[in-house]
Amino acid sequence: MAEQHRKRLNDAFTGSLPLPATLEPHLKEALDQVLRNPGSLIRPEIVTEISLGYGLLETDATDLAIGLEYFHTASLLFDDLPSMDDAVERRGVPCVHLEFGDAGAILAALALINRAYALTWRAVSNSVPERRSKALAYLERHLGVDGLLNGQSMDLHYGTLPHDRQTTEQIAMGKTVSLIRLTLVLPAILGGASNAELHLLERIALYWGLSYQIVDDLKDVLQSSAEAGKTVSRDLSLNRPNVALVIGVGGAVERLHRLIDLGDGMLRRLILVRPGVSFLENLRTELGAEAIQLTQSVCGDAGGGTA
């Protein structure tokens, strides 16, 4: 994204959760570290562009973008805990719980969540009542027991579930697609998109979310195999859901191209009725490039389907 855009979102990410001088020092330091380490900020960039494409005020667009990014960041803090994925590094620095303990990471995540709801509320408060309640119901559904939390719990108990494509995609629906749907659909709801447009955005979020998950899964398998003397993927050794492990690398590459093609159909129809969101073609291009690269590394051909 443009440098000025990134700078503006970076400052918004760091500055949208003011820390009072009286805040307990350990929690303050933990939050400081999180707020000074934004990720790629690709999600907030998309939220901003869609919001503006649908005519939202820039201030509301930024509140919504940062609010959703705070939810996402909080979910990573929880994900990384020893009782969940037990990760050690995130965004190039040691995980928050390693430096501030599980309790410190949990309180920091809760601070982000509390602020995220407030920012989202502020962003929707300028909308007419119907859009407001539609947007808040959509937020609740995708963050809660119908979305993110269900995916996370299925992920944690994957050992008890059938290791097939349906299950891995169900988990990805909860963990990955939920947040991408909020990213693509929530601004459109507030912008008064028609139900037809919302349906197209929901399908695009579904196909792209599952695609990104397959890209991750393939990288896990291929990169691990590439390492000398290590032919077992991290997901396999930890019994984590990975579609390439349950339907094979070839099947996963095919599925990836299939999903991207399905998304293309929806994207074409969406841009016809809403040219303002044609920037989504750039995301599609990046996704396609990843797919081609993976296809080449697997079978040495460019997989015409997404060329």
Binding site residues, a second copy, CB under 8 A: 17, 19-20, 22-27, 31, 78, 81-84, 101-104, 106-107, 110-111, 113-115, 117-118, 121, 125, 129, 132-133, 136-137, 140, 143-146, 149-150, 152-154, 156-157
Continuous H helices in the chain: 3-15, 25-35, 42-53, 58-79, 96-124, 129-143, 148-156, 165-172, 178-190, 195-226, 234-237, 243-273, 280-299
Task: Quote the least distance from Cβ 105 to a second copy, whole Å.
Answer: 9
Task: Kindly tell me which of 113 and 244 has the beta carbon lying closer to a second copy.
Answer: 113
Q: Which amino acid is at 287?
A: L
DSSP helix/strand/coil, 85? coil
Task: Kindly tell me which of 44 and 104 has the beta carbon lying closer to a second copy.
Answer: 104
DSSP helix/strand/coil, 126? coil
List, in order, residues 6 or more apart from 274 with CB less than 8 Å away.
Answer: 53, 54, 193, 197
Task: Kindly tell me which of 58 and 102 has the beta carbon lying closer to a second copy.
Answer: 102
Task: Kindly tell me which of 125 and 282 has the beta carbon lying closer to a second copy.
Answer: 125
Task: Quote the least distance from Cβ 162 to a second copy, whole Å.
Answer: 13
Task: Quote the least distance from Cβ 98 to a second copy, whole Å.
Answer: 13
The HSE-up count of residue 206 (CA atoms within 13 Å, CB side) is: 13
Question: What is the residue whose two structure tokens read 């447009």?
Answer: 197
Task: Kindly tell me which of 1 and 23 has the beta carbon lying closer to a second copy.
Answer: 23
Phi, psi angles (nearest 5°) of residue 58: -65, -35
Task: Quote the least distance from Cβ 12 to a second copy, whole Å.
Answer: 18
Task: Quote the least distance from Cβ 111 to a second copy, whole Å.
Answer: 5
The HSE-up count of residue 12 (CA atoms within 13 Å, CB side) is: 25
